[in-house]
Amino acid sequence: MKIGSAVGDVRGPATLDAVVGQVRVAAEAGFATAWASQALGWDALTAIAVAGAAVPGIAVGTAVVPVPQRHPMMLAGQALTAQAAVKGRLTLGVGTGVAAMVSGMFGLRTDRPVQRMRDYLTVLGPLLRGESVEYRGETLTAVGAVTVPGDVPAPSVIVAAMGPRMVRLAGELADGTVTWMTGPKTLGEHIVPTITKAAGGRAPRIVAGLPVCVTNTPDDVRARIAEQFALAAQVPEYRATLDREGAAGPQDVAIVGTETQVTQALDRLRDAGVTEFMAAPYGTADEQNRTIDLLAGLTR
């Protein structure tokens, strides 16, 4: 199992220079990938393109870019631009977004999320490969092509998926999935077997993202995680996954404890079939540094 590092907003407010610095630290630590999430601050693709261009030697990715606000032709152009900037090291993670935010903030429809993602991926894949599309689906229309000069390979595409239908779709039409706040029981019993079956003979990428903190005061850290990520315990998308795990909230699936306890938790993810752990170092600067030191040692 590879180990990657989340950078940017998910770890707390950070300037663009700080995001570049986090990617540099990740590269020096030997992490496989630096992952940027789309929240309410930096544009994830732009930020990771800037940082990836400045820091060679590490793959970069988005985990994830919500697609309802972005037509696939626009996202394809942006993704290929970022791919050119980082010289072919990009993984494009996409998702349907949290429905309450998509409808409440943007006034967009959130019904039929699996069909909407199916239409989206059907168009996005060919566009990323430089092919023309003429698609009039149930939820979107796309006609044309995205042409980027130079030899720019299509980035790998993974899909944020938790429900069984979305997980199967990720196996059918993408290179894998990325999860957030999903524990080892759910991954091993639900996500991994479902996507592996849907992928046929291909080996799907399974990226699992969780807050992680090496600490001697786990109760305090879990209390802070419960407060900071309280939304994840309330919205249906995450609530269903937490219920499947038997967890009251994010604090129960976050990886928190001593070096030994964190290492054992990562072993459980590996045994569940996770191919890459997306660590979101959590806490104070000292706590995050201690966590990165342990993860860097494990990568070696």
- Neighbouring-strand partners of residue 6: 35
**Rounded to the nearest 5 degrees, what angle is found at the Cα of 250, between the Cα atoms of 247 and 254?**
100
240 and 181 Cβ atoms separated by less than 8 Å: no
**pLDDT tens string 161-214:** 999 999 999 999 999 999 999 999 999 999 999 999 999 999 999 999 999 999
123 and 140 Cβ atoms separated by less than 8 Å: yes
Give the Cα separation of 242 and 84 in Å (integer): 38
Would you list the DSSP string of 39-74?
SSSS-HHHHHHHHHHHS-SSEEEES-EE-TTS-HHH
Written as tens digits, the pLDDT of the chain (300 aa) is 999 999 998 998 999 999 999 999 999 999 999 999 998 889 999 999 999 999 999 999 999 999 999 999 999 999 999 999 999 999 999 999 988 888 888 898 989 999 999 999 999 999 999 999 999 999 999 999 999 999 999 999 999 999 999 999 999 999 999 999 999 999 999 999 999 999 999 999 999 999 999 999 999 999 999 999 998 889 888 999 999 999 999 999 999 999 999 999 999 999 999 999 999 999 999 999 999 999 999 998
Dihedral sign computed on CA atoms, order 131, 133, 137, 140:
positive
Torsion angle, alpha carbons of 16, 21, 26, 29, to 10 = 180
179 and 205 Cβ atoms separated by less than 8 Å: no
**Rounded to the nearest 5 degrees, what angle is found at the Cα of 191, between the Cα atoms of 186 and 192?**
110
- Neighbouring-strand partners of residue 174: none
